[in-house]
């Protein structure tokens, strides 16, 4: 590359006023604004988790009362699910990278993109207000009739917060879907799209079809609680299980809103750091769509002990097994991509290895829970808690950090310390396993979830769990430290520090406000690492 002086104007320094950020329509700045709010939510949710783990170091409920404990795990769940896991990869990394990766100047609707950030923040503020005014204690699942009639906590305010934040997710999904359909650069055909884009497309499908259902469900709950309408009220002949159906019709597919985009990021990182094209590109692409579609057909596996008919339970059990197939296809293809690749041991790849190990365990233990008989034993025990944390933290959060470490040099133009990042990945991986693997055992032995006290014989495993959580906490704190340090003091990364293939790496770092100086034209399939490597020599 010739050393012509790059225009040093970029999307970060083009304007400095606060208003230039708060009124920006630039997808890259909006991505950064999401990063700030989501990180704050992650910190808040993490503090709740820490308090939970401290309480559980002893069998007695001695640190907090049972009421307070109920509020802690509820607000931990609400903060992490609705304000971290769902927006993390689409709204932060997707917003930043999607237009760059398809060679567009912006998303299709930049104003709506900004609007969805504001909606998200307003929803977040409502939820925080609910926390400050005394919290909410229903569990993040808000099951009726406890939530609609009996709970004396801020169900209404939290519900409104989630309702509002849902529209942010819907609008992001809508925006991405239209962007992928209509904003691709010339020559960027569907089968030249990077797999991250396929994953975001599948995710927007879930956001568009699922999120409105949770919105109306929460609205029905709110109206029932506030005005005394009867939708789920058993005193009138209403059915609380209907609430569970409607809730999980969204909330199971929501798992795919959380996991599909990180899977997309994983595909990008694996290709780059194995210096190989993704093995079975179209299988990985279509498995995203398959997960999005079939993910809508398995929700009742959360209701196996809620009194649904055994015949429907059998069908849902079978479908829940079946939905594991596309995830397995992805895992096999990633492994095959790494096989005989020239693996480059850089920080983003460390997070990928962590993801592969943890997601595998999370996925396989999901099969235990999909089995009807075993689920009766394991339902509402710590086994379930461990399983979904392996998927949501071990899968989604590890994938998010893989993506964040991969695109960070592009987002900020700065490089972080590779050894610090490797250490953080290791700490989180070890800490995570130490936290959650004992929970599989303690759950299998019969410790129920959502109690602040437990039988004495479970203490050893719980102490291990709490110790692991503190290691994880150190890992996450370390990430915040070296990323912030690199942002202010880091070395310049240059346009393409990973020698990666993809349109986002062909513009400067950080990119100019319009992304590209010239409209890019695509002439080849993604991940041409083999040809590029042979060129480099």
Partner 1 sequence: MADGLVAHVDSHEHGEAHHPDLQHHFETLGQQHEAATLGMWVFLVTEVMFFGGLLMAYLLYRVWYPEAWAEGSLELDIVLGGFNTVVLIGSSLTMALAVRAAQTGLPKATVRWLLLTMALGLTFLVVKFFEYKHKWDLNHIPGENFTFEGPHAPQVEIFISLYFALTGLHALHMVIGFGILSVITWMAHRKRFTPEWSTPVELSGLYWHFVDIVWIFLFPLLYLVDRVHQLN
Summarize as ranges the residues that interact with Cu ion (CB under 5 A): 252
Q: Which residues contact 351 (CB under 8 A, 6 or more apart)?
A: 269, 398, 399, 401, 402, 405, 425
Q: At closest approach, how far in Å is the CB of 175 from partner 1? A: 8
Is 203 one of the binding residues for partner 1 (CB under 8 A)?
no
| Contact range with partner 1 by CB under 8 A, out of 68-76, 191-199, 235-243, 350-358 | 235-243
Q: How far apart are CA 316 and CA 345, in angstroms?
A: 41
Which position among 52, 162, 199, 213 is part of the footprint of partner 1 (CB under 8 A)?
A: 213
59 or 212: whose CB is closer to partner 1?
212
Q: At closest approach, how far in Å is the CB of 262 from partner 1? A: 24
Contact 427, 472 (CB under 8 A): yes
Q: At closest approach, how far in Å is the CB of 170 from partner 1? A: 5
The terminus-to-terminus CA distance of the chain in angstroms comes to 16
Is 211 one of the binding residues for partner 1 (CB under 8 A)?
yes
246 interface partner picked from partner 1, Cu ion, none, CB below 5 to 8 A per type? partner 1
Q: At closest approach, how far in Å is the CB of 299 from Cu ion? A: 6
Both tokens assigned to 138: 């229903």
Q: At closest approach, how far in Å is the CB of 203 from partner 1? A: 14
Which position among 186, 307, 310, 448 is part of the footprint of partner 1 (CB under 8 A)?
A: 186
Q: At closest approach, how far in Å is the CB of 252 from Cu ion? A: 4
Span 505-534, contacts to partner 1 by CB under 8 A: 518-519, 521, 523
Residue with tokens 């009742």: 300
105 interface partner picked from partner 1, Cu ion, none, CB below 5 to 8 A per type? partner 1
Is 189 one of the binding residues for partner 1 (CB under 8 A)?
no
Contact 99, 196 (CB under 8 A): no
What distance lies between CA 474 and its chain's CA centroid? 21
**Angle, helix 324-338 to helix 281-294, in steps of 10 degrees:** 160
252 interface partner picked from Cu ion, partner 1, none, CB below 5 to 8 A per type? Cu ion
| Contact range with partner 1 by CB under 8 A, out of 36-44, 104-112, 263-271, 472-480 | 104-112
| Contact range with partner 1 by CB under 8 A, out of 71-79, 228-236, 274-282, 388-396 | 228-236
CA nearest neighbour of 203 among 353, 388, 399, 19: 399
Is 170 one of the binding residues for partner 1 (CB under 8 A)?
yes
Q: How far apart are CA 103 and CA 502, in angstroms?
A: 10
Q: At closest approach, how far in Å is the CB of 317 from Cu ion? A: 12
Say whether 205 sits in a helix, a strand or coil.
helix
Contact 453, 60 (CB under 8 A): yes
Angle ∠(315,319,323) on CA atoms, nearest 5: 175
Q: At closest approach, how far in Å is the CB of 259 from Cu ion? A: 11
137 interface partner picked from Cu ion, partner 1, none, CB below 5 to 8 A per type? none
Is 535 one of the binding residues for partner 1 (CB under 8 A)?
no
Is 284 one of the binding residues for partner 1 (CB under 8 A)?
no
Is 230 one of the binding residues for partner 1 (CB under 8 A)?
yes
| Helical (H) or strand (E) element with 179 | helix 155-182
**What phi, psi does 313 have (nearest 5°)?**
-60, -40
Is 183 one of the binding residues for partner 1 (CB under 8 A)?
yes
310 interface partner picked from Cu ion, partner 1, none, CB below 5 to 8 A per type? none
113 or 435: whose CB is closer to partner 1?
113
Q: At closest approach, how far in Å is the CB of 211 from partner 1? A: 7
Which of 163-181 are b and which e, b meaning 16 or more Cβ less than 10 Å from the residue's Cβ? bbbbbbbbbbbbbbbebbe
What does the chain come to in residues?
537
Q: Which residues contact 50 (CB under 8 A, 6 or more apart)?
A: 469, 470, 473
Q: How far apart are CA 27 and CA 201, in angstroms?
A: 17
Is 161 one of the binding residues for partner 1 (CB under 8 A)?
no
307 or 448: whose CB is closer to partner 1?
307
Q: How many CA atoms lie within 13 A of 377 on its CB side?
A: 11
506 interface partner picked from Cu ion, partner 1, none, CB below 5 to 8 A per type? none
Which position among 46, 159, 161, 238 is part of the footprint of partner 1 (CB under 8 A)?
A: 238
Count of beta carbons in the 10 Å neighbourhood of residue 512: 17
Q: How far apart are CA 259 and CA 325, in angstroms?
A: 15
What distance lies between CA 367 and its chain's CA centroid? 21
What distance lies between CA 101 and its chain's CA centroid? 20
Q: How far apart are CA 474 and CA 387, in angstroms?
A: 23
110 or 341: whose CB is closer to partner 1?
110
Q: At closest approach, how far in Å is the CB of 302 from Cu ion? A: 5
123 or 394: whose CB is closer to partner 1?
123
3-class DSSP string for 364-415? HHHHHHHCHHHHHHHCCEHHHHHHHHHHHHHHHHHHHHHHHHHHHHHHHCEE
Q: At closest approach, how far in Å is the CB of 486 from partner 1? A: 30
Name the site residues for partner 1 (rule: CB under 8 A): 104-106, 108-110, 170, 174-175, 177-179, 181-183, 186, 208-213, 215-217, 220, 223-224, 227-231, 233, 235-239, 242, 245-246, 518-519, 521, 523
């Amino acid at each position: 590359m010739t050393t012509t002086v790059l225009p040093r104007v970029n999307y970060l320094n083009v304007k400095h006023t606060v208003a230039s950020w708060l009124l920006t329509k630039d997808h890259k700045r909006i991505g950064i604004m999401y990063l700030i709010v989501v990180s704050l939510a992650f910190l808040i949710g993490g503090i709740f988790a820490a308090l939970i783990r401290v309480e559980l170091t002893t069998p007695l409920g001695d640190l907090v009362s049972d009421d307070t404990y109920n509020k802690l795990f509820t607000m931990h769940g609400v903060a992490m699910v609705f304000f971290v896991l769902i927006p993390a990869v689409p709204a932060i990394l997707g917003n930043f990278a999607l237009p760059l990766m398809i060679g567009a100047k912006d998303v299709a609707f930049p104003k709506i993109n900004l609007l969805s950030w504001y909606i998200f923040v307003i929803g977040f503020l409502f939820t925080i207000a609910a926390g400050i005014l005394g919290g909410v204690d229903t569990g993040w699942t808000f099951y009726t009739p406890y939530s609609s009639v009996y709970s004396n906590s801020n169900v209404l305010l939290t519900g409104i917060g989630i309702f509002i934040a849902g529209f942010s997710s819907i609008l992001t999904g809508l925006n991405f879907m239209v962007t992928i359909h209509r904003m691709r650069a010339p020559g960027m055909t569907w089968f030249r799209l990077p797999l991250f884009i396929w994953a975001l497309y599948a995710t927007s499908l879930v956001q568009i079809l699922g999120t409105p259902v949770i919105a109306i469900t929460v609205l029905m709950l709110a109206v029932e609680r506030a005005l005394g309408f009867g939708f789920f009220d058993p005193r009138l002949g209403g059915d609380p299980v209907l609430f569970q159906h409607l809730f999980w019709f969204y909330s199971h597919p929501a798992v795919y809103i959380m996991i599909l985009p990180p899977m997309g990021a994983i595909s990008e990182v694996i290709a780059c750091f194995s210096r190989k094209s993704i093995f079975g590109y179209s299988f990985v692409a279509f498995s995203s769509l398959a997960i999005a579609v079939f993910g809508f057909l398995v929700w009742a596996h959360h209701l196996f002990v809620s009194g649904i008919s055994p015949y429907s339970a059998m069908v849902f059990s079978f479908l829940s097994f079946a939905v594991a197939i596309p995830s397995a296809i992805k895992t096999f293809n990633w492994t095959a991509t790494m096989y005989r690749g020239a693996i480059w041991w850089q920080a983003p790849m460390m997070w990928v290895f962590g993801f592969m190990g943890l997601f595998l365990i999370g996925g396989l233990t999901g099969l235990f829970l999909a089995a009807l008989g075993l689920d009766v034993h394991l339902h509402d025990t710590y086994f379930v808690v461990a399983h979904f944390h392996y998927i949501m933290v071990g899968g989604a959060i590890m994938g998010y950090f893989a993506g964040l470490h991969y695109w960070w040099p592009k987002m900020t133009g700065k490089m972080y310390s590779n050894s610090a990042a490797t250490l953080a990945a290791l700490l989180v991986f070890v800490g995570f396993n130490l936290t959650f693997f004992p929970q599989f055992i303690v759950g299998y032995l019969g410790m129920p979830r959502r109690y602040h006290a437990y039988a004495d014989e479970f203490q050893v495993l719980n102490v291990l769990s709490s110790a692991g959580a503190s290691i994880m906490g150190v890992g996450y704190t370390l990430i915040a430290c070296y990323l912030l340090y690199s942002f202010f003091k880091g070395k310049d990364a240059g346009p393409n520090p990973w020698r990666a293939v993809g349109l986002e790496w062909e513009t400067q770092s950080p990119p100019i406000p319009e992304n590209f100086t010239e409209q890019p034209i695509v002439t080849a399939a993604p991940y041409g690492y083999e040809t590029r490597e042979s060129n480099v020599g």
